[in-house]
Structure 1
Amino acid sequence: MTRRTPPLGDQQGLWQAVMAAAAGRCQCRGTCGKNHDKDGGRCPAQHGAYVRHGTGPVHLLAAPAEADALLLPPHKAAALPKAALAAWCPACHSATRRAVDKARLASAPAAGPDCLFDF
């Protein structure tokens, strides 16, 4: 996948539209845990560019823009409209998903007893 070649599953041009709206740059603004202050508050990763020496080029993802929506099942995330999607680099996407999942688990009510009878 080159700078302008979309992924194979992009039949309707959705990925291309999201990348055009993001100008080919990750749209994370710190939900991944990094503040991205050196880059104006936005992740510097660009599609097709190298983040650091020794790694391959970055391939941006079109995924839900809202952090909570990143935990949607794939079939529901795929049905989201273009306005609800953002460009994510894999590092920010994974870190944000982990943070949201950790917060969801922390706020979940405590599980009941793990046995059939009380002793």
Structure 2
Amino acid sequence: MTARTAPLADTGLWQAVMAAASGRCQCRGTCGKTHKADGGRCPREHRPGAELLAAPAEPAQLLWPAHQAAALPKQALTAWCAPCHDASRSRARRAAEADTPPAEPDALF
């Protein structure tokens, strides 16, 4: 893997997550793709123009506010490419909405 350019506010956590991921997206299908042709793991690697981000490994936690996600330990984070991150987040949002019962309308009388 080539040299990594860390985000501006990196405190070493991003570097640790990328090292653990060997600079490759760690999605294994939560985005909706099987990644079958690549052994079950997304083939995208960190490089200029296709940077990876460190975000919660659990799709439901991708919906957390940034300040809560930022407090997670290194072991709870994984490397995501933007397409897998966005698709996994969308799927988690739809699943959360499906689990939420519809709101009862306010009665007028």
Structure 2 counterpart of 1:52: none
Structure 1 counterpart of 2:108: 117
The whole-number CA distance in structure 2 between the counterparts of 1:112 and 1:33 is: 32
* Structure 1 segments unaligned to the other structure (5+ residues): 50-56
Cα-Cα RMSD: 1.4
Secondary structure of the structure 1 residue equivalent to 2:79: strand
TM-score using structure 2 length: 0.94
Post-superposition Cα deviations, 1:26-61, rounded to whole Å, max 9, x if no partner, equal 000000000000000000000006xxxxxxx21100
Q: Does the 8 Å CA contact 1:3/1:47 hold for their aligned counterparts?
A: no
TM-score using structure 1 length: 0.86
Alpha-carbon offset, residue 116 of structure 1: 4.7
The whole-number CA distance in structure 2 between the counterparts of 1:13 and 1:62 is: 11
Divergent runs of 4+, >3 A: none
Alpha-carbon offset, residue 73 of structure 1: 0.7
- Give the greater-gyration-radius structure (CA): 1
- Spell out the pairing of 1:95-106 with structure 2 (5 A cutoff): 95-106=87-98
Structure 2 counterpart of 1:73: 65
Residue 15 (1) aligns with residue 14 (2): yes
Q: Does the 8 Å CA contact 1:67/1:96 hold for their aligned counterparts?
A: yes
* Structure 2 segments unaligned to the other structure (5+ residues): none
